[in-house]
Structure formats: structure tokens, C-alpha cells
Amino acid sequence: MAGTKASTAAEARDQDRRKTILRAAVEVFARKGYHGCRIADVAREAGVAYGLVYHYFKNKEELLQLVFEAGWGGFMSRIRDAAEEFDATQFEALTAAALVDFAERDVEGVVVEAGLGGRLDATNVVDAEVVLLTNVALPGAMTYLAARLLAAAPARPAPTLFLPTGFMS
């Protein structure tokens, strides 16, 4: 019986260490980017020895893959659940989740690709001070909008601005 308790405790400790290292990897990847991140950085952030990271993970690529699987899988599961609960499409739920996140982080300006005519889209869900709709297919439209948004910001610390880089022209 004592052996079973010890092995269960060891398994729990292993799971906790693995989660701690994955959380640290998220932080370091976010701060330094994938290419700027070293396993030593992850170990330092997690408060574990360098070699222990390799005990749980084969390499940096595996860490990144597991970070995405855990984070994205959980995120998409919550989006699907919310869509079902509120009888919304996944797009509507994803748009709402993004806008809630921006509000919680006090993002002052957002350039969003919005589907027009939807029941709930970025043009009719948020009570914004300024809404500007433009054809993003225009060369440089997103860059122009971002520059104007930053220029129009009141004189105070630089606003947080979210730009989906895939839409930059």
C-alpha cells in the first residue's frame, strides 16, 4: 500500500512539474519568441534545473507543440461550448471572446476584419466611440488605419494596439 501512495505522489509531482515547465514555456515564448527562447530560459522561468526540462520534454519543438495543443485545444473547446450555450456560430463566439479579452486588457484601439451582415459581428457587438469600415483589399489599408488610430490617441502613455499581422498590407 505504501508503494502505491508513493508512486501516486511521484506521478502527481511529475504532472505538476510538467505543467510548471509548460506555463514557463508560454511566458518565455511570449516574451522572447520561439527563436529567441532557449531551454535554459524556460528552466530559469520554471525554477527547475536545465536538465529537468529534457526529462519531461524532448526538445524546444515538442514544448512549442504541446503549448499550442494545450492552449489552442482548450480555447477552441471553450469557444464551441459558448457557441452552443448562446446559440451562436463559432465565429460569433470567437469574435465575442476576442473583444472581451481586449476589454479586460484595456486595449484602446483594435483593427478588426469584420464580416458584415452577421447577426453578431465586430460592427454591432461593441459600443465604440469610433467605427470605421473600409475595404481591406485596398493596398496599405490596414497599415494606414493603424497609423491613424495611433495618431488619434490622446496624449498619454502609448495605447495598446492589437493588429492581426496576417491582415497587414
pLDDT in tens, 107-134: 777 766 655 555 655 566 666 666 655 5
Asked whether 57 and 66 are in contact (CB, 8 A), the reply is yes
Lowest mean pLDDT, pick from 71-80, 129-138, 160-169 = 160-169
The whole-chain average pLDDT of the chain stands at: 75
Q: Do both 3 and 72 map to the same domain?
A: yes
For the chain, what is the domain count? 2
Does the predicted model carry a pTM greater than 0.85? no
Q: Do both 77 and 123 map to the same domain?
A: no
Q: Do both 64 and 101 map to the same domain?
A: no
pLDDT tens, residue by residue, 8-46: 988 999 999 999 999 999 889 888 888 899 999 999 999
Domain span holding position 25: 1-85
| Closest C-alpha among 167, 114, 116, 107 to residue 141 | 167
